[in-house]
Amino acid sequence: MKWKILTVGKPALGYAKVGVAEYLDRLKRVVPVEHVALKESGSKANGVAQLVRSEGDIRVVLDERGDDWTTAELVRRIDRWELDRVKQVSLLIGGAAGHEDEVRAAGDVILRLSRFTLQHELALVVLLEQLYRAYSVKRGEPYHR
């Protein structure tokens, strides 16, 4: 299964650039992952278009109004998606203004990373870390302890 992570804009903050690079590098050793930075202008249209193009994928929109998952739940979802032979999971992180209703409606899953509102670059780092943690759990590696 492949992961496609769509974000509005590229990380500009130093800590985010380092964190994204670190976790993408770690993830790419265990699972195919692609990060696509959408242009900030027209991000709503880009987000909807990217999600619509991902038809047949599992489409996850990260939003503060979404469902709360634990890391264990994420591992169970990944296991289920792999058993169902899902080819790709597309995740969309919005910009500073969040997502429009159309974008949320296009998703299969609405997921909240935290009850706190997270700055979008930090949300990307947290998401990548959680994906890496989930695959570490799946492989029985000590990272998650």
Encoded amino acid at 41, one letter: S
* Per-residue model confidence (pLDDT) at position 32: 97
Q: Residue 46 sits in a domain of what CATH number?
A: 3.40.1280.10
Instruction: Assign 145 a pLDDT band (cuts: 50, 70, 90).
Output: low
DSSP letter at 133 equals H
Structural domain for 100, as ranges:
2-144
- For residues 13-38, average pLDDT: 95
Alpha helices (runs of H) in the chain, residue ranges in sequence order? 14-28, 43-53, 71-83, 101-106, 120-138
* Per-residue model confidence (pLDDT) at position 9: 81
Q: Give the chain's domain count.
A: 1
User: Dihedral (C-alpha) 80, 46, 49, 47: value to the nearest 10 degrees?
Assistant: 30
Distance CA 46, CA 128 (A): 21
- Tell me the pLDDT tens digit for each residue of 71-111: 999 999 999 999 999 999 999 988 777 777 888 888 899 99
- For residues 61-79, average pLDDT: 94
Q: What percent of the chain has pLDDT over 70?
A: 87
- Tell me the pLDDT tens digit for each residue of 118-132: 888 999 999 999 999
24's tokens: 């993408």
Does residue 10 carry a pLDDT above 90? Answer: no
Cβ neighbour number for residue 8 with a 10 Å cutoff: 23
Average pLDDT, rounded, for the chain: 87
